[in-house]
Amino acid sequence: MATLVTGGTGFVGANIVKDLANNGHDVVSFDINGPDQLLQQFIGEAASKITFIQGDIVDSASIQLLGQGHQIDKIVHAAVYTVNRTALEIERSRDVIAINLEGTANLLELARTQKVTRFVYVSSGAAYGTALPSDQTLNEETPPAPDNLYGITKFSSEMITRRYGELHGLSTVSVRLSTPYGPMERVTGHRAVMSVFYDWIGRAVRGTTISPQALAGGRDYIYISDIANGIRTVLDATSLPHNLYNITTGIWVTYQQILDAVVELSPETVFEVPPLRPADSVGEGYSRGPLSGHRLFEDLGWTPKFELKEGLADYFKWRKYSGFLD
């Protein structure tokens, strides 16, 4: 029996695939992009447990062929079109809806025909929206208020996933992720905006100057290995008391804290201090408050393993020794 991971060559998906393969799963990765040299290097010895298949989740016929060629027992649906800038949202509106909604429907239908034992939909903190106060901790009972196509399609897919499970007797669950950082984050056709970790660690490794736009903002960042571990915990749980979980550290990290940690890790790093702007002094740029991870801890005993400095050190090491200097 195999575990299917969609989006398996992307940032989040690649880490899920590697974690599952290293922890007893035979994995089928389905992605519109095939594995390149960087991904193969990242996967390493786990490659023997992974089958990579190229295909489009919007193509229902290709999805159904997966069921004919493999005995799929579990599914992690991580494929997504990530859009967090209005200009790109305007340009690719139809693609966002097709990939994020039609793709989800196709995977759920595969889950139904394969009678899978668990379907995990990988959602996002974007489902909460940005209208809530930035100092409010967001738990799974907080009413969602997504305000862009990415967040709207994420929340909609959660609801579709839940209802499909109820209608067809499937064990379905959604996980909302805090903002990830770490290995395999890179520009792709469906992911164009990178985190400050990608930018600043890359500059530190290359020996170029870090030029922050502002230091007052922040996010509840989480190291990507913790996300993969959290998803596996939900995927393999014997039973799930709830059908929605946040995967998060629950800790708000400012850009100043991140910069300080980067300089501590790599003291030779050169950076420019940005001028204080009115927006910085009032904390603008905070898109939402931190997510709460209490439910996942209370139900399954899961907690993240990486604190900020540990995650940065691991990521720095990977960027340096993988040769990925972009």
pLDDT tens, per residue, the chain with 326 residues: 999 999 999 999 999 999 999 999 999 999 999 999 999 999 999 999 999 999 999 999 999 889 898 999 999 999 998 887 788 888 889 989 999 999 999 999 999 999 999 999 999 999 999 866 667 899 999 999 998 999 999 999 999 999 999 999 999 999 999 999 999 998 775 555 688 999 999 999 999 999 887 787 889 999 999 999 999 999 999 999 999 999 999 999 999 999 999 999 999 988 887 765 544 433 334 468 899 999 999 999 999 999 999 999 999 999 999 988 77
Sign of CA dihedral 126, 128, 134, 135: negative
pLDDT tens, position by position, 39-52: 999 999 999 999 99
- Which one is catalytic: 150, 181, 255, 315? 150
171 secondary structure, DSSP code:
-
Domains detected in the chain: 2-180+223-247 (3.40.50.720), 181-220+251-288+306-322 (3.90.25.10)
In the block, residue with structure tokens 């023997």? 48
Question: Mind listing the pLDDT tens digit for each residue in 188-238?
Answer: 755 556 889 999 999 999 999 998 877 878 899 999 999 999 999 999 999
Note if 150 is an active site residue.
Answer: yes
The single-letter code of the amino acid at 225 is S
Residue 272 burial by CB count (10 A; 0-12/13-18/19+): exposed, middle or buried? exposed
Output the pTM of the full model: 0.94
